[in-house]
Amino acid sequence: MAILSLQSSVVRGYVGNAAALPLLHRMGVDVWPIDTVMFSNHPAHGAFTGQTHDPAGIADLVQGLSGSFDQCDGVLSGYLGQVGTGPVLLDAVAAVKQVRPDALYCCDPVMGDNGASYVAAGLPEFFRDRGVPAADIITPNVYEAAWLTGMTIESLDTARDAARELRAMGPGLVVITGISCGAELATLALDGELAWVVMTPKLGLASHGAGDAFTALFLGCYLASRNAPDALSRAASGLHAILQTSLDAKNDGDLRLIQALDAAVAPRELYAAQQL
């Protein structure tokens, strides 16, 4: 199994491809990473260096891989950096699907979190108008799902309503992460007309890259099983194991991903998906 992954990367920490690669490799999945940006560390740490990669250079790398697209089972996208990278991404998805119609495109519409956007102007509109409609699977957090739909999400019921709106935009499988439910966090998946939810305890820590780690786990599991509630359960449980390991290590905002790899792909405690 192979996944073409276009998203950010950092030298220090586990964000974007830096999070997806170790997780998917540990799951036995080949990953073809193309970094949309390369930063020294997550910008939330304060000072950082690095650069956003030119869309033309990204397109060149995609073109160089085109002879292998018959071996590609899925395309994963996250933080794009520039608006111009959006059309390059969609061209890559179309080129993969031309030779592998069964390949799945999983779009994490990275725009912001906790009530604030942190991407270039125009990227939210790209995801709403083009990225989400082209995807088979999307994995927005609550902020992103609310922006894309124009809805207020403050409960499982409103999250399910938003997921239905998002599914009507094109993707067959919608996953919304980070739904606050008292002392727990809910992750909801709408697969066709069926909604599933996994509840995990809140741990209360900053965790740069948690969404990227979840999406990688979910896509890897789903490609292997094509079973949404199973993939939801395993991905949410795996992410919780990563976060618990990070908390135990007195986390400074970066995930303790390497220490948690075994627990992430085979969590000791599996939180079951319940039909909503």
pLDDT of residue 88: 98
- pLDDT tens digits, residue range 22-44? 999 999 999 999 999 998 887 87
pLDDT of residue 103: 98
Please name every residue paired with 256 in a beta bridge, in sequence order, or none if there are none. Answer: none
Task: Judge whether 154 and 160 are in contact, CB under 8 Å.
Answer: no
Please name every residue paired with 4 in a beta bridge, in sequence order, or none if there are none. Answer: 32, 75
User: Alpha-carbon distance 251 to 41, whole Å?
Assistant: 15
CB contact set of 65 (below 8 Å; sequence gap of 6+): 4, 32
- Residue with token string 């727990």: 184
- Residue with token string 């976060």: 243
User: Is the pTM here over 0.85, yes or no?
Assistant: yes
User: Which of 274, 253, 85, 269 is closest to 188 using CA atoms?
Assistant: 274
Query: Which SS3 state, helix, strand or coil, does residue 156 take?
Result: helix
Q: Which domains occur in the chain, in start order?
A: 2-275 (3.40.1190.20)
Note down pLDDT in tens along the chain; length 276 residues: 999 999 999 999 999 999 999 999 999 999 999 999 998 887 877 788 999 999 999 999 999 999 999 999 999 999 999 999 999 999 999 999 999 999 999 999 999 887 777 888 899 999 999 999 999 999 999 999 999 999 999 999 999 999 999 999 999 999 999 999 999 999 999 999 999 999 999 987 767 899 999 999 999 999 999 999 999 999 999 999 999 999 888 767 789 999 999 999 999 999 999 999
pLDDT of residue 75: 98
User: Which residue type sits at 37?
Assistant: V
pLDDT of residue 251: 62
State the helix-helix crossing angle for 210-225 and 228-248, rounded to 10 degrees.
150
HEC sequence for 195-260: EEEEEEECCCCCCECHHHHHHHHHHHHHHHHCCHHHHHHHHHHHHHHHHHHHHHCCCCCECCCCCC
For 261, the enclosing helix (H) or strand (E) is helix 261-265
User: Alpha-carbon distance 202 to 28, whole Å?
Assistant: 29
pLDDT of residue 112: 84
**Which stretches does DSSP call E strand in the chain?**
2-10, 30-39, 50-52, 74-77, 104-107, 112-113, 116-117, 137-138, 173-181, 184-191, 194-201, 274-275
pLDDT of residue 254: 87
User: Alpha-carbon distance 134 to 89, whole Å?
Assistant: 10
